[in-house]
Amino acid sequence: MNNTIAIGSDHAGFNYKSAVIDHLQQKGFEVKDQGTFTDASCDYPDYAHAVAGAVEKDNTTMGILICGSANGVAITANKHQGVRAAICWEKEIASLARQHNDANIICIPARFVNIDLALEMVDIFLSTEFEGGRHLNRVQKIKI
């Protein structure tokens, strides 16, 4: 996997996004911050499209999206071809999203997980490989 991560958030995820960026940079990842750049109220689709577009353009880039519930960013990102955005709120879900679904964007609900769990999920998501096998056929059926 590439060492490039596209990340974005709305205002509800802004503080988490800053912490995740610092965490990833300390681990040697190249992080492309797609915004927002303040905690002022904003429209999550703008940032979800930016991250999903980066992942869609370069299938070796992984993505991270953070908003209050993670629903809006996941719905938006999944409109892009080749993007499999998964809402994760537990470590096991972050792992299974990669193992079974080959998810390439993790969507974190900042209002429902603490920052330590968010960072752990990011680490798990980025270090877990897709299992392939019987899951490959299922993932291939996603595309219209």
**Choice among 11, 23, 80, 100 that is catalytic:** 100
Residues with Cβ within 8 Å of residue 81, at least 6 apart in sequence: 56, 143
Per the annotation, the verdict on 67 as an active-site residue is yes
**Choice among 11, 49, 67, 88 that is catalytic:** 67
Per the annotation, the verdict on 100 as an active-site residue is yes
Residues belonging to the active site: 67, 100
